[in-house]
Amino acid sequence: MKIKNKILCNIGKHDYRSELRTYDLFNTNWTNTGETSFWQVHFLKCKHCGHRSFYTDHRGPVHGGIDKAKHYWLDDGYILDQLRNPEKKTPKQPEPQPKTRLTTSEKIDNLLSKALDTTSENEAINCLKMARKAYHAKG
């Protein structure tokens, strides 16, 4: 390393190069508005001394995924594989909800709602017939 570069690095004037830049891997889902915000993350490394730096446009208090990526990069010099190869990232599968049985009244209400919402006359008539049958079977 040249003396000039060594001096510049020692006083904190690093010549950073991009190691990885992500644009849409980190996001925040806002429950109050229903919107999703995407955050960019940029991993940088000094060309001369190897000093690592990290940039993100997320300005909120905490984002777990961004903080984890930042600490891996700054502390260990490691970028998570999901960030380098996002196509390998497997989305978290929602947990199956236990099925609950509908009461006869709920079934009838659903059939009547469907009959009113459909644009097909045949489907509406079939829903009304099934609702009538369920009502009489109820007792």
Burial (CB count <10 Å: 0-12, 13-18, 19+), residue 94: exposed
Res 95: pLDDT: 67
What is the C-alpha separation between 61 and 69, in angstroms, rounded?
15
Res 28: pLDDT: 83
Res 89: pLDDT: 54
Res 139: pLDDT: 62
CA pseudo-torsion sign 74, 75, 78, 80:
negative
Burial (CB count <10 Å: 0-12, 13-18, 19+), residue 128: middle
**Reported pTM:** 0.54
For the chain, the structural domain boundaries read 3-88, 104-138
* Residues 11-39 pLDDT 10s: 888 888 988 888 878 888 888 888 888 88
- Residues of the chain under the 50 pLDDT cut: none
